[in-house]
Amino acid sequence: MRPLVFAAFVAAAHSAVAESSPGRVVWDIPEAMRLIRTADQVYVMPVKLTEKRQRAEISGMYTTVTPHWDFKHARQIVDINARRRLQRLLGKDSSWCHCHDSTFGIGPEPQYVGFIFQRGKDKLVLLRFLRWHTDGTFNGENTGGSLEEKASDKLDEWEKRYARPERGFK
């Protein structure tokens, strides 16, 4: 009985996450991937998370996590080396998980950051949460995706070096 309840919980949690971010995955939008690599304006900002407890028919209560951007605290990345490293990391197809991500969080989430990539009229917003998951928009359309574990670890290193204030580090 317990495996069935756990499986129902995972299915309910996954469907809640899937409903929150409809749209194409970022790695499947060539224009978005090109924008990451060629953006002339790149911003970093803190991401705020809200948790919402919901009831599922089979598994009882579960919590969904939703990221929100904080544009008023967005900071342009002027360090050309930092910007290029970020663009190379997120602009590589191999950095993105080409899979169905059913990640769900357990316990409090650390402070994550989001990114804005702009060039001309094109704009991509990516908000990181649940370690390697991203939600966002590309020119107003919902998008998102999940990073491969190795790329997520490299992004953690990048954030600790270049996004200390946004991550809450002194």
Structural domains in the chain plus CATH codes: 24-48+66-167 (3.30.1490.410)
- Could you tell me where the DSSP H helices lie in the chain? 2-20, 30-38, 80-90, 149-162, 164-167
Beta carbons within 8 Å of 114's beta carbon, 6+ residues apart: 44, 45, 46, 47, 67, 69, 70, 125, 126, 127, 128, 136
Which two tokens mark 123? 């704009």
- Counting every residue, how long is the chain? 170
In tens digits, the chain (170 residues) has pLDDT values of 434 333 333 333 333 344 444 578 999 999 999 999 999 999 998 887 666 565 666 666 545 555 556 667 789 999 999 999 999 999 999 999 887 665 555 555 667 888 999 999 999 999 887 777 788 889 999 998 999 999 999 999 999 999 988 877 65
For residues 35 and 103, give the distance between their C-alpha atoms in angstroms, rounded to a whole number.
27
Give the CA dihedral 117, 82, 147, 14, nearest 10 degrees. Answer: -60
pLDDT at position 47: 80
Class of residue 84 by CB neighbours under 10 A (exposed 0-12, middle 13-18, buried 19+)? middle
41-56 and 24-25 beta bridge pairing: unpaired
For the entire predicted model, the pTM comes to 0.74
Name the nearest CA neighbour of 95 among 85, 103, 105: 85
